[in-house]
Amino acid sequence: MKRSSKHFLLGAVAAISAATYFMPTPATAAWEPTRPVEFIIPAGTGGGADQMARTIQGIVTKHNLMKQPMVVINKSGGAGGEGFLDVKGSKGNPHKIIITLSNLFTTPMATGIPFNWKDLTPVAMLALDEFNLWVNTDKPFKTAKEFIDAAKTANGTFKMAGTGSKQEDQIITEAIQKATGAKFIYIPERGGGAVAVQLVGNHVESTVNNPIEAVAHWKGGKLRPLCFFDSKRVTYKEVVAEGKSWADIPTCKEQGLDIVYLMLRGIFMSPGATKEQVDFYVGLFRKVRDTPEWKKLMEDGAFNTTFMTGDAFTKWVAAEEKRHEELMKAAGFMAK
């Protein structure tokens, strides 16, 4: 009897699958997703990675760049470890991609979870995310130097909020302390959005938010970027707020704070992906980059729009891992 019930299901399932899968398959040999594509964000909602992934979801759907739908899922548990381990565990499933932030390197280093970026298949670098030094407009600071001097005078009572612990924000804070001798109390929050709000509410003195995470508050007249942690100024000339454009904001180096830190916004996919599968996603993201919506996002968030794929990308990631290892070691953030 059990058999008959199985048969029943078998037949019914077959009927359903026939009905729902009856889609014309393209004649070309190029690989295409045959199921909905899961787009994992190893971070919370409202942060930089989340904003980018959701914008991409909108672009892909609006311009019909993919036949299958794209489902965006936040897997932020364990400082993003949840998301990375999920993709790592989906070997051979080409319907899973993940966007990265620096926790691609820092989370396994700080926690010792069994993960390394080499467990994934690199797809492409979409852009590099900048970092700014942000202060509240209630405070008199207009330049990084004024701020750092005040922080020194305050004798270690200035508070710096940032995303997570032993991640990029704290790495930068650590670098500022080393470079200037000023001491900060670093207060970890759950996401970039929450970090910015703590600064708006004057609960901390500064943050190192990504531009996109705090730009809305700059426009609202609450926050002010003092400088970019980059080697040269960005080129976006459109006025954002206070009559200034991103290009008017100096680099921190110009202001005597010689720190450069950019963060990878890259796409990886599950291990064991074939070349055709990687090529599909590379093609997809090339198309995404050509849309006006993407260009607007890049401008709003003052992104560095470097695009990289293939070996160049893999090499870049390897070098970046090395750099993070040094940074984490120097700061004493490595798991014992």
Partner 1 sequence: MEELANLFHGFAVVLQPFNILVMVIGILLGVIIGVLPGLGGANGVAILLPLTFSMSPTSAIIMLSCIYWGALFGGAITSVLFNIPGEPWSVATTFDGYPMAQQGKAGEALTAAFTSSFVGALFAVIMITLVAPLVAKFALEFGPAEKFGVYFLAFCSFVGMSKEPPAKTVASMMIGFALGAVGLDQMTGQLRLTFGITELLIGFDFLIAVIGLFGIGEILLTMEEGLSFKGRSAMINLRVVIQTWKELPRYWMTSLRSCLIGCWMGVTPAGATPASFMSYGIAKRVSKRGHNFGNGEIEGVVAPETAAHAAGTSALLPMLALGVPGSPTAAVLLGGLLIWGLQPGPMLFIEQKDFVWGLIASMYLGNVVGLIIVLTCVPLFAAILRIPFSIIAPIILVLCAIGAYSVHNSTFDVVMMLVFGVAGYLLKKCNYPLAPLVLAIVLGDKAEESFRQSLLASQGSLSIFWSNGLVGTIMALGLIALFWPMIQAGWSMLMPVKKGTRQE
Partner 2 sequence: MAKKSKGAAVGGPAHRSVEAGVAIFAVVLALITIGGALAVGIDWGAEGPKAGFFPFYVGLFILGSSLINLWHALRDNPSDKLFAEWIQLRQVMSVVIPTTIYVFLISWIGIYIASLLLIALFMRWLGKYGWGYVVAVAAGTPLVIFIVFEKWFLVPLPKGPLEEFLGL
Helix (H) or strand (E) holding 191: none
Q: Does 15 sit near partner 1 (CB under 8 A)? A: no
The answer to whether 100 and 79 have CB atoms below 8 angstroms apart is: no
Neighbours of 232 (CB within 10 A): 11
Q: How far apart are the C-alpha atoms of 193 and 211, rounded to whole Å?
A: 11
Pattern of binders to partner 1 over 33-62, x per CB under 8 A?
Answer: ---x--------xx---xx--xx-xx--xx
Stretch that binds partner 2, among 33-41, 199-207, 236-244, 290-298 (CB under 8 A): 33-41
Residue with tokens 């019909």: 64
Write the CA distances from 116 to 51, 262, 279, 308, 332, integer angstroms: 25, 20, 22, 20, 19
The nearest distance, CB 321 to partner 2, in angstroms, is: 25
- Phi and psi, residue 124, nearest 5°: -160, 155
From 93, 105, 100, 90, select the one nearest 124 (Cα to Cα): 100
Q: Does 5 sit near partner 2 (CB under 8 A)? A: yes
Q: Does 1 sit near partner 2 (CB under 8 A)? A: yes
* Cα pseudo-dihedral 283, 286, 288, 292, rounded to 10: -150
Contact partner at residue 244 from partner 1, partner 2, none, CB < 5 to 8 Å by partner kind:
none
Q: Does 335 sit near partner 2 (CB under 8 A)? A: no
Neighbouring-strand partners of residue 227: 133
Contact partner at residue 316 from partner 1, partner 2, none, CB < 5 to 8 Å by partner kind:
none
Q: Does 16 sit near partner 2 (CB under 8 A)? A: yes
Question: Where along the sequence are the contacts to partner 1 (CB under 8 A)?
Answer: 36, 45-46, 50-51, 54-55, 57-58, 61-62, 69-75, 77-79, 81-82, 85-86, 110-114, 157, 159, 164-167, 185-191, 193-194, 196-198, 200-204, 215-217, 219-222, 293, 296, 300, 333, 335
